[in-house]
Amino acid sequence: MQNINFKIIERMTPEQLQDYIDKNHFSETQALKIYQHHNKNHKNEMRYIARKEGIRSITKGIDYVHIFTKNFEQLANMDISSTELKVIAKILNKMEFGNCFHVSQAKLCKELNIKKSNMSIIFKKLKSKSLIIDKDGDLFMNSNIFLKGQYHTINEKQRPNFQKAQVFNVADNPMFQNFYSYHSENDINESLSETEDFASQDQDESTKPVLIPPPEKPEDNGTEEDNVFYMKDWDLPDFQLPPT
């Protein structure tokens, strides 16, 4: 089992942290601990900088999505009309975490003042451009272009939607790049095995991280940090730390 250097990851940026996880091929259990520890140790520092420089985080309750710029550029080259763009924007505002959306064409017609016959044509065009994905009876926005939430921050029922919403081709021609990495079956089995090991025995002394326990859950001041890269520490059980 690959050892985690907790002291080094405390000084890493989110990009460096992800690179560290990818290069060392950590299991899901280990990656979970890394994200959790990094999140906890950076929250106080982030709040201090925000107060000092007068920075405010994204206001609570505001919806936003991530855009993969290279694939979005590909989309822009596909002659998207202004009306199609209005429909896209409205769907993005109603889209759930995991990119699934449940909104009828009739409702979109009413809200956007578009004729029903025209909306039907727009949906067909957006499906032909692999922007709207029809899978297993649900509709999704292509998660290779737009993304709402991240795998480790949404609930278990929504997680499979990320892969359901992935389409790479338009009219059988490769169009969109893949920006995701998924664990193999061997990685999952290894992760389950490690979880059982952690529950049944203590870690070897040489592999235990030496660090100060992170702070308690912060008070809610009406704003929230951008938790794109991290899991909320109070949503997950603390992993076992060595006695100080």
Q: Is the pLDDT of residue 238 over 70?
A: no
d(CA 84, CA 159): 28
Phi, psi (degrees; rounded to nearest 5) at 9: -70, -20
Q: Is the pLDDT of residue 25 over 50?
A: yes
Alpha carbon separation from 89 to 84, 109, 172 (Å, rounded)? 9, 14, 26
Does this model's pTM top 0.75? Answer: no
pLDDT at 35: 83
148, 97 in Cβ contact below 8 A? yes
Instruction: Give the gyration radius of the chain's Cα atoms.
Output: 21
pLDDT tens digit string along 166-201?
Answer: 899 998 898 998 877 655 555 445 544 544 554 444
- All structural domains of the chain, each given as residue ranges with its CATH number in brackets, are 6-59+182-235 (no CATH), 69-174 (1.10.10)
Reduced to 3 DSSP states, what percent helix, strand and coil does the chain have, rounded to the nearest 5?
A: 45, 10, 45
- Closest to 34 in 3D by CA, of 42, 183, 185, 154: 42
- Closest to 128 in 3D by CA, of 72, 175, 170, 182: 170
pLDDT tens digit string along 64-78?
Answer: 899 999 999 999 999
The set of residues, in sequence order, having a beta carbon less than 8 Å from that of 166 and lying 6+ positions away, is: 133, 142, 143, 144, 178, 180
Q: Is the pLDDT of residue 214 over 50?
A: no
Q: Is the pLDDT of residue 44 over 90?
A: no
- Closest to 123 in 3D by CA, of 109, 144, 137, 143: 109
> What average pLDDT does this structure show over 10-24?
84
